[in-house]
Amino acid sequence: MLENRGVVDCLSPNERSQIMARVRSKNMRPELLVRRVVFALGYRYRLHAKELPGHPDLAFRRRKKVIFVHGCFWHRHENCPLARMPKSRTDFWEAKLEGNRQRDEKNTKMLRRAGWKVLTIWECELKDTTRLERRIGRFLDA
Ligand SMILES: [Zn+2]
């Protein structure tokens, strides 16, 4: 999310408070929750592998698998209520968020081409922890 810091700094007070309200409404940052689940399942991982496209949040080198944890708003989760486009400065947001989405797509392609298996977990999928555990377990075991 570091790449978005510049954007957060130039938000109008209203935009900023809307986004911060979204952030505050969660008890835990999405990445931390996923890490906790992965750790509890007994898998060990590396964080933000710098040499891999997109710096995946979790990397499982031996299994050649990576997990991205994406915020629905910043990464533009399709048809997701959390990814609603702000009503003001729509052009700015459209360009910014579409750029993020395209970058994600490119990184995923590059990883897959290099033989990595990629799992993307969206912020809105974190509420059901049991389902999340099953999904991560299936992905890592396969
Ligand atoms: Zn979502």
Q: 19 to each of 4, 23, 26, how far by Cα in Å?
A: 12, 6, 12
Given a cut of 70, is residue 2 above it in pLDDT? no
Tell me, what CATH number does 78's domain have?
A: 3.40.960.10
Q: Mean pLDDT in the chain? A: 86
* Distance in angstroms (rounded) separating the CA atoms of residues 9 and 80: 25
Q: How many CB atoms lie within 10 A of CB 53?
A: 20
Q: Which residues neighbour ligand 1 (ion) by CB within 5 Å?
A: 72, 77, 80, 82, 122, 124
Q: Is residue 136 part of a domain?
A: yes
Q: How many angstroms does the Cα of residue 76 sit away from the middle of ligand 1?
A: 8
Q: Is residue 131 part of a domain?
A: yes
pLDDT at site 16: 65
Q: Give the rounded percent of residues in the chain with a pLDDT score beyond 70.
A: 83
pLDDT at site 5: 47
What's the structural domain count of the chain? 1
Q: How many angstroms does the Cα of residue 124 sit away from the middle of ligand 1?
A: 4
For residue 87, give its domain range.
Answer: 28-141
Q: Is residue 33 part of a domain?
A: yes
Q: Is residue 100 part of a domain?
A: yes
Q: Give the rounded percent of residues in the chain with a pLDDT score beyond 90.
A: 58
Mean pLDDT of 53-67: 95
At residue 117, the 3 state secondary structure works out as strand
According to DSSP, residue 120 is labeled E
What interhelical angle do 129-141 and 30-40 show, nearest 10? Answer: 60
* Distance in angstroms (rounded) separating the CA atoms of residues 131 and 136: 9
Q: How far does CA 120 lie from the centroid of its chain?
A: 7
Q: How many angstroms does the Cα of residue 89 sit away from the middle of ligand 1?
A: 22
Q: Is residue 11 part of a domain?
A: no
Q: Is residue 21 part of a domain?
A: no
Mean pLDDT of 12-27: 61
Task: List beta partners, residue 57.
Answer: none
Tens digits of residue pLDDT in 107-120: 999 999 999 999 99
Given a cut of 70, is residue 18 above it in pLDDT? no
Q: Is residue 9 part of a domain?
A: no
Q: Is residue 86 part of a domain?
A: yes
Q: How many angstroms does the Cα of residue 121 sit away from the middle of ligand 1?
A: 9
Given a cut of 80, is residue 21 above it in pLDDT? no
What's this model's pTM, rounded to 2 decimal places?
0.79
pLDDT at site 129: 86
DSSP labels for 36-76?
Answer: HHHHHTT---EES-TTSTT--SEEETTTTEEEEEE-TTTTT
